[in-house]
Structure 1
C-alpha cells in the first residue's frame, strides 16, 4: 500500500520554528517529524510515500535527498505557488494512486497499528475509513452503531452537519488525522483548487460508506504547538 504525508501546511501554531522551517522538519528528540513518520510507515511495510510540499518546500526536498529517501520510494507533490489544503492536496496527487492508500498528517505521532487499520478498512469495503479516538477536541465526528460516519460538530460554536435527524445516539469521537481511502473517492470530488477533504466527507456520508476505526487508549499526539513537542519528547525517544 502507498501512503501520503500531508507536509505542505504553514504550521502557524508551531511558530517561531515555522517562521524559518517547515513543520515537517520540527525535531522531536532530535529527529524530525517527517523522518519519524516515514520510519513509522516503513515499520508496517509501506515503502512508497507521496509527500506534498509548499511551505519551505526546498528544505523538505533537500532533507529527503540528503537521506536517500530513507531507503524507500518517495514522490514529491509540489503545491507551489498555492497551498491546496487537504482536499486540493489529495486531488493534486491523485495520479499516484490506483488502489487503496493511506493518508496521514505529518505532525501526528501515534502507535496506531496500521495493519489492523488496513484490515478493518478492506474487510468492510469502505470508501474511506477514518482513524478516530475518544479524546479532547473542539471538533467531533459522530458514528452510529455500525461505525458509519453520520455527523460533525464544532463544540465551540455548536455548528453541526448531520446525515440523520439526530446525533443523540451516536458515538462522539475525535479525528486522528489518518485516513484510508479508495481511489474511487476521486470520482465523487467536484471541487477544484483549495478545499478541505472533510467537507467532501460531510457530503458523502449521506450516500457512501465512510467508517470510523476507534483506536482509543493508544498514543496519539498532535505535534502542532511547542508545548506538544515537549509532550511528544516524553513518549517518543
Structure 2
C-alpha cells in the first residue's frame, strides 16, 4: 500500500457510540433488490511496505497458497454472483493484465483502467462512473484477503437501505489506525484517527476494505482529483447524515500490508482456516453427508448380513441360480453385484456361481414394459427362469417398488428364497423377504451407498471362503439348504 493509501482511513476501527450528534437518524439511500453483478478491485498501489517483493510484482499479485491474491479475490466475487469486474492499474500494470486476461477462465469479464497518476481509492471508482450506473456494486481493496460471506454483506446493505456498507474487521493494534464510530443501531457516525486508547478494545472494529455501494455515492466524489473513501468521502457523508452502515465480519478480512501478515494468512489458508464461504459450505455438506452414511453403517444388522451371506453360499454350494433386480440406481447396483459375486466365486478357485442381473437387458425390459407394463418387467422374466432353491436379490430403496414386489411374490410361489435390500423403514419388501437388510436412512443417497457397500461386503465374504469352506455345511440336502435349516431354528 502506498503512503497515500495508508492515509485512506481503511484501517479505521469501529466502536459503538451515541446516535448522531444532531439527534437525527441517517439519511437513507434508495436500494431496492437489484442483484450485485459488478465489482471494482483497487489494484493500483505500489506496495512500498512489502519491498523488495513488490519491486517485481504488484502487491495484489503476491502469492497465497501458491496463487496470486487477486485470483482468490476474483473467485470470491464470482461465487457471490459478480459477472463483470473493473480493475485499476498503475504499478506493474502489465503483470496483472497479462496474468488475468479477460477473466473468462474465472467466469467473469474484466475491464482494466490504467492510471498514469494515482486517483485514490474513491477517485479510481469515480473514473469508471459509467460502469457502475446500473445498480449496487462491490469495491474490494486489492491488498485485502477477504473470506467473508458477500451474500450476507449485501443482505445487510439492503436491510438497512444504506448508501454504502463497509465490512468491518477487528484490528491488531487500535493505536495504529483510525476508529470508525457506530451508533447503537450500527450506523457509522464518525472516524477517529489513531487513538491513544479506547474504552473497550473488544468492541472496536477496523474497515475491512470491502464495500457495497449504491451508484448515488458517486455524486459525492469530485471529478479529476485524488479522493479516498476513508479519508475523504465517507467522513464527508457521515457529517451530512448520509446512511453509511457497518457490517461486522469478524475473521472475514485480512489486510496483506506486510510480509509478516502475508506469511500469517498464507499459513492459515493452507491449513483451511480461511476457506472461502463456498468451500466452508461444501465442507459442511460433505461432513453432514458422511456423518449420515457412517450412522447408517453403524446401524446395519450384522446378523442379517451373516444370514444373507449364508443364503448366497448355500445357493452356490447347491448349484442354484441367483437373480438380482433393481430400478434406476438400484439397477446399477444389481448389475454391479452380479459381476462382483460371479468374479468373487471364480477368484476362490472354488465352486462356480450362476449369477444374473435381470435389469441389464434394455431390449427385454423395454419389451415387457411396452407390451405388458412396467410393473411386470421382472416377474415375466422370472416366470421362465426361476426354480425352487434359487435366490432372488431384490434391491429397492423404498421397499415398495411395484415391479420388485411382483417379482418377489412370484419367486416365493416358485420356492425361491428372497434377499431384500431396502431403506426408508423397509417397506413391504422387508416383510416379504426371507432375509431383509434395511438401511436406517430416509434419503436415497445413503441408502443406495450402503446397498453398494453390502454388495462389496458379500463379495469379500465369497472371496475369503475356499471350496472346502463353501461345501462345509451341516448335512446339506437337496431339498433343504443349510440356510433353511438354520432359519427354521431361529
1:4 equivalent in alignment to 2:40: yes
Q: Deviations over 1:190-224 (max 9, x none)?
A: 353212122111011122101101122x2432112
1:144 equivalent in alignment to 2:191: no
Residue 127 of structure 1 corresponds to which residue in structure 2? 163
Residue 163 of structure 1 corresponds to which residue in structure 2? none
- Whole-angstrom distance in 2 between the partners of 1:140 and 1:232: 23
- Whole-angstrom distance in 2 between the partners of 1:151 and 1:203: 9
Distance 1:100 1:122, change over 3 A: same
Task: Select 2:257's aligned residue among 207, 219, 224.
Answer: 224
TM-score by length of 1: 0.88
Q: Give structure 1 stretches of 5+ with no counterpart.
A: 159-166
Residue 31 of structure 1 corresponds to which residue in structure 2? 67
4+ aligned runs moved over 6 Å, structure 1: none
* CA positional deviation for 1:225: 1.1
* CA positional deviation for 1:78: 1.4
- Whole-angstrom distance in 2 between the partners of 1:106 and 1:190: 23
* CA positional deviation for 1:157: 7.1
- Whole-angstrom distance in 1 between the partners of 2:171 and 2:234: 21
Residue 187 of structure 1 corresponds to which residue in structure 2? 219
- Whole-angstrom distance in 1 between the partners of 2:217 and 2:105: 28
Q: Give structure 2 stretches of 5+ with no counterpart.
A: 1-35, 271-490
Distance 1:219 1:17, change over 3 A: same
Higher strand content, 1 or 2: 1
- Whole-angstrom distance in 2 between the partners of 1:30 and 1:220: 19
Relative contact order, CA 8 A, sep 6+: which one is greater?
A: 1
* CA positional deviation for 1:155: 2.0
- Whole-angstrom distance in 1 between the partners of 2:171 and 2:47: 22
Task: Select 1:109's aligned residue among 145, 149, 152.
Answer: 145
Q: Within 5 A, what are the aligned runs for 1:200-211?
A: 200-206=233-239, 207-211=241-245
Q: Contact (CA 8 Å) 1:143, 1:172: kept in 2 or not? A: no
Q: Contact (CA 8 Å) 1:14, 1:224: kept in 2 or not? A: yes
Number of positions where the alignment pairs a residue of Structure 1 with one of Structure 2: 226
Residue 213 of structure 1 corresponds to which residue in structure 2? 247
* CA positional deviation for 1:147: 1.0
2:122 alignment partner, SS class: helix
RMSD: 2.1
Q: Contact (CA 8 Å) 2:119, 2:226: kept in 1 or not? A: yes
- Whole-angstrom distance in 2 between the partners of 1:6 and 1:69: 20
1:119 alignment partner, SS class: helix
1:64 equivalent in alignment to 2:100: yes
2:72 alignment partner, SS class: helix
Q: Deviations over 1:105-153 (max 9, x none)?
A: 1111132110010011012110000111333342210100111111111
